[in-house]
């Protein structure tokens, strides 16, 4: 099958490369000349494990190429994927669809013969109808079917998610398009993974519903974590205990500093916007968002509590800046507001991230970026583990202990067992568990739990 993928960003590149790997003939298109030049020369503009090698292998096989020339790419394509960005508009938070609509116009001008146009970009319900209308305005005789085929790729495991998906969702009521899409995803069918065919609008909504549900799961477990800290329970064990119930499921129950990234924050807001437009009250999603917003402040307060109530004049070492491990993406990373709040409270912040520092630099002012976790921790009053990179899973705690000024370890991902940290002389502050302090450590007063639970979402809420 001949396929064009418009937009060589994260989703477009992964989609195009994996489709080529399945044996399709794929052309990836982007209007950014620098990106196309980089890709043509064997470079990759994003960090995603395994992608560079997969691109190289498929370029060598002659199945994958890159171009700026959309018309040339489309000539003879059976299927065109739209995989351009839909960033939130600064004015109202609604998904900005101008890139999608521009591409629809370009497609209208360039297609020849029957073409299936696939919306891979995350777009609000009803966008497929608009794309169809735009194409037929530009080209009244166009023989196209617009299909919704949402992506569920996680950064850092995108190739695995594409090639071994939990499901593929195809939204179309057109028989011809359905058969072509099934041929595109033949490999998925062969592997026995489910392909769900729905109405186009249903498929569009599935994407938002999935992300909002997962986000709700995270806000839920984060609230339970707050409660755990007040009742001396352990959130990881609570998560295990509820996750063993197959109706709940064990995944996506890791409490942490709140969700970030390019999808959850944006998609939950966009879903709320759609609900508002239709006069539908979505209080659960609204609360999911507000619990997550309040969480960043809560994390900053947790760090302040850990060092005795104030970070004024103190140095905080932040390990990990990206919104999660195995990505260089800083979009909506909890580290951004947490660091800013610490700085506003008078802290000096030093930071280290294995991949995210080039992206973080322009977003964070007055942060001292360091070359490794140990340089970062030197002379600090608290080490804060913000992102659970592999590199932070096996830190030399003895060495770290020798470098810090005050041995306080705030583990916002619960990477370390508290007793291990305590054994190395640290006060161990985690998420959804009680703070532990070594008896031999007289230099630091343990964080005091607050007298009363102040309620999640409250700006004054403290852990």
From the list 21, 48, 151, 305, which residue makes contact with ligand UDX (rule: CB under 6 A)? Answer: 151
Q: Which residue's CB is nearer to ligand UDX, number 106 or number 151?
A: 151
Instruction: Yes or no: say if 285 and 275 are a contact pair by the CB < 8 Å rule.
Output: yes
Left if phi > 0, otherwise alpha if psi is -120 to 50, otherwise beta: which for 326? left
Contact stretch for ligand UDX (CB under 6 A) within 167-175, 227-235, 259-267, 301-309 = 259-267
Measured distance CA(381)–CA(458) in Å, rounded: 27
Which residue in 181, 112, 82, 155 sits closest to 328, CA to CA? 155
Q: Is residue 102 within a helix (H) or strand (E), and if so which, with residue range? A: helix 98-110
> How many residues bind ligand UDX, per CB under 6 A?
19
Decide if residue 216 touches ligand UDX (CB under 6 A). no
Contact stretch for ligand UDX (CB under 6 A) within 128-136, 258-266, 389-397, 421-429 = 258-266
Decide if residue 134 touches ligand UDX (CB under 6 A). no
Decide if residue 392 touches ligand UDX (CB under 6 A). no
From the list 22, 208, 264, 426, which residue makes contact with ligand UDX (rule: CB under 6 A)? Answer: 264
Q: Which residue's CB is nearer to ligand UDX, number 8 or number 427?
A: 8
Sequence-ordered list of residues with C-beta below 8 angstroms from that of 228, at least 6 positions apart, any chain: 234, 235, 238, 432, 433
Decide if residue 259 touches ligand UDX (CB under 6 A). yes
Please provide the DSSP assignment of 159-205 as one string.
HHHHHS-S-EEEE---HHHHHHHHHHTHHHHHTT--EEEE-HHHHHH
From the list 9, 108, 260, 418, which residue makes contact with ligand UDX (rule: CB under 6 A)? Answer: 260
Contact stretch for ligand UDX (CB under 6 A) within 56-64, 257-265, 403-411, 426-434 = 257-265
Q: Which residue's CB is nearer to ligand UDX, number 155 or number 355?
A: 155
Ligand-binding site membership of 255 (annotated):
yes
Angle at 22 between CA 17 and CA 28, to 5 degrees: 30
Report which residue's Cβ sits closest to ligand UDX: 263
Q: Which residue's CB is nearer to ligand UDX, number 252 or number 374?
A: 252
Contact stretch for ligand UDX (CB under 6 A) within 37-45, 74-82, 112-120, 151-159 = 151-159
Q: Which residue's CB is nearer to ligand UDX, number 108 or number 156?
A: 156
Burial class (CB in 10 A: 0-12, 13-18, 19+), 362: exposed
Q: Which residue's CB is nearer to ligand UDX, number 8 or number 262?
A: 262
Decide if residue 320 touches ligand UDX (CB under 6 A). no
Least distance between ligand UDX and beta carbon 313 (Å): 31
Looking from the CA of 303 toward its CB, the CA atoms found within 13 Å total 34
Decide if residue 155 touches ligand UDX (CB under 6 A). yes
Decide if residue 154 touches ligand UDX (CB under 6 A). yes
User: Chain-centre distance of CA 440, in angstroms?
Assistant: 41
Sequence-ordered list of residues with C-beta below 8 angstroms from that of 332, at least 6 positions apart, any chain: 260, 261, 262, 264, 265, 266, 323
Decide if residue 12 touches ligand UDX (CB under 6 A). no
- CA torsion through residues 139, 140, 142, 145, sign: positive
Instruction: Yes or no: say if 46 and 23 are a contact pair by the CB < 8 Å rule.
Output: no
Ligand-binding site membership of 30 (annotated):
yes
From the list 263, 338, 403, 447, which residue makes contact with ligand UDX (rule: CB under 6 A)? Answer: 263
Residues taking part in catalysis:
263
Least distance between ligand UDX and beta carbon 263 (Å): 3
Which residue in 286, 385, 407 sits closest to 338, CA to CA? 385
Three-state DSSP at 383 gives: strand
What ranges in 255-282 are assigned the alpha helix state H?
264-277
Decide if residue 261 touches ligand UDX (CB under 6 A). yes
Instruction: Yes or no: say if 16 and 8 are a contact pair by the CB < 8 Å rule.
Output: yes
Q: Which residues are annotated as a binding site for substrate?
A: 152-155, 207, 252-256, 260, 324
Binding site for ligand UDX (CB under 6 A): 151-155, 211, 214, 218, 252-254, 256, 259-261, 263-264, 323-324
């Amino acid at each position: 099958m001949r396929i064009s993928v418009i937009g060589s960003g994260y989703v477009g590149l992964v989609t195009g490369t994996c489709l080529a790997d399945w044996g399709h003939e794929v052309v990836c298109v982007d209007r950014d000349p620098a990106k196309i030049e980089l890709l043509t020369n064997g470079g990759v503009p994003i960090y995603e494990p395994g992608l560079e090698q997969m691109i190289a292998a498929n370029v060598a096989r002659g199945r994958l190429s890159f171009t700026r020339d959309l018309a040339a790419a489309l000539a003879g394509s059976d299927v065109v994927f739209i995989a351009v960005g839909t960033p939130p508009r600064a004015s109202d938070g609604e998904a900005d669809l101008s890139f999608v609509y521009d591409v629809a116009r370009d497609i209208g001008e360039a297609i020849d013969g029957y073409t299936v146009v696939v919306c891979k970009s995350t777009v609000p319900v009803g966008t497929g109808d608009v794309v169809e209308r735009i194409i037929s305005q530009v080209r009244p005789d166009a023989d196209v079917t617009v299909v919704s085929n949402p992506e569920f790729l996680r950064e850092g495991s995108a190739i695995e998610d594409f090639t071994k998906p939990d499901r593929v969702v195809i939204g179309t009521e057109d028989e011809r398009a359905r058969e072509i899409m099934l041929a595109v995803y033949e490999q998925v069918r062969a592997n026995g993974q489910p392909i769900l065919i729905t109405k186009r609008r249903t498929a569009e909504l599935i994407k938002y519903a999935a992300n909002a549900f997962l986000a709700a799961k995270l806000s839920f477990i984060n609230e339970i974590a707050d409660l755990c800290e007040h009742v001396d329970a352990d959130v990881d064990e609570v998560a295990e205990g509820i996750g063993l119930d197959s109706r709940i499921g064990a995944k996506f129950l890791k409490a942490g500093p709140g969700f970030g990234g390019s999808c959850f924050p944006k998609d939950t807001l966009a879903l709320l916007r759609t609900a508002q437009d239709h006069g539908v009250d979505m209080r659960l999603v609204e609360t999911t968002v507000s619990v997550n917003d309040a969480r960043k402040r809560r994390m900053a307060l947790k760090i302040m509590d850990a060092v005795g109530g104030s970070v004024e004049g103190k140095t905080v070492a932040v390990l990990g800046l990206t919104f999660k491990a195995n990505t260089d993406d800083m979009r909506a990373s909890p580290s951004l507001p947490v660091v800013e709040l610490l700085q506003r409270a008078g802290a000096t912040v030093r930071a280290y991230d294995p991949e995210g520092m080039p992206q973080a630099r322009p977003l964070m002012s007055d942060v001292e970026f360091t070359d490794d976790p140990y340089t970062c921790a030197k002379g600090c009053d608290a080490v804060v583990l913000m992102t659970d990179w592999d590199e932070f899973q096996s830190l030399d705690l003895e060495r770290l202990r020798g470098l810090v000024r005050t041995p306080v370890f705030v583990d916002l991902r619960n990477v370390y067992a508290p007793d291990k940290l305590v054994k190395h002389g640290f006060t161990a502050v985690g998420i959804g568990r009680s703070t532990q302090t070594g008896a031999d450590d007289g230099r630091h007063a343990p964080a005091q739990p607050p007298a009363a639970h102040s309620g999640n979402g409250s700006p004054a809420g403290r852990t």
